[in-house]
Amino acid sequence: MRYFVGGNWKCKGTRESINALVESWNKAGSFPESVEVVLTPSAVHVELVRQQIRDDISLGAQNISTDKGYGAYTGELTAELFKDLGCTWTLAGHSERRRRKSVHKLGHDETSDSVAQKTLTALRVGLKVIVCIGETLSDREQGTTLAVCQAQLEAVRRVLNEEDWANVVVAYEPVWAIGTGVTASPAQAQEVHAALRLWLMENVSAEVSSRTRIVYGGSVKITNCKDLIDQDDVDGFLIGGASLKPSFTDIIKSVPAVWDSELRDAKRLKRVKATQAIPLSGLSSPRK
């Protein structure tokens, strides 16, 4: 296993800016062997990036259609299309899709069931999936962070086989920290990650709990990444704005040089009893 660092470009970047950025990354030197790096450009830029990106960065989609295969699906982009482009990953359930209508008054809000079906569709086509979950500020203030995150993950659990989890990364992204400049403290990230890992143990299996990478997303930058990755249950990052900068490679290089599975598992086992004592209302509020 390896740490995981993902970059989500959202609907950003021009051909000119992307060419310059990729060129700078290609000259940035080697990454630690302990890290897997995945980039999700906008759909229209996937091929442009693929043609020139360094070999140790894989590509993914930001979203796939619930339609399958090739057909009369005007405007849709299926998992098969992205796989044909050379993508090996996709995002599923990013909060900007879960809350598209409620925030931007556009389209519809993606439901947890839709996210689960897209996850299953991608896996069956041969794409790996970064499943995004996270609570709003209101959820956290009401003490329902874990209930919200677990409900989002439960929809995915219902449609997957235990073997499917080997190709899933869970990205915990508190909505109140995405693009706001406000980052969950390392302790806040750790307490949610630890609780999610316990949930996987109790609802899927101990093996899946131990082997599923849970990464943090929400205003990750070079100034806070080291403190976050030092947490026992933070296995990497899903990064938005900072992945559009040359310094993204510095964040990648901030991960430990070695993934020590035995040590990480031992630490996690020690935390199980403490995590079991965390009440649903016991999570701290965001830093002011």
CA angle in degrees (0–180, nearest 5) for 158-236-274: 70
7, β-bridge pairs: 39, 239
Q: What residues pair up with 40 in beta bridges, in sequence order?
A: 8
- Biggest alpha carbon distance in the chain? 53
User: In this structure, what DSSP letter does residue 257 have?
Assistant: S
Q: Determine how many CB atoms are found less than 10 A away from the CB of residue 185.
A: 15
Burial (CB count <10 Å: 0-12, 13-18, 19+), residue 42? middle
Residue 269 corresponds to which tokens in the numbers above? 């086992």
- Is 23 a catalytic site residue? no
Closest by Cα among 280, 287, 279 to 184:
287
Q: Which H/E stretch holds residue 216? A: strand 213-216
> What is the DSSP pairing of strand 236-239 with strand 57-61?
unpaired
Instruction: Provide the token pair at 67.
Output: 């339609």
Which residue type does 142 have?
Q
Q: Is the dihedral of CA 163, 56, 197, 111 positive or negative?
A: negative
Amino acid at 222: I
Known catalytic membership, residue 104? no
Distance (Å, whole) CA 5 – CA 10: 16
In angstroms, what CA-CA distances link 64 with 20, 116, 128, 193, 259? 27, 12, 12, 26, 31
Catalytic option among 36, 96, 135, 173: 173
CB contact set of 51 (below 8 Å; sequence gap of 6+) = none
Pick the catalytic residue from 94, 110, 135, 191.
94
Active-site residues: which are they? 94, 173
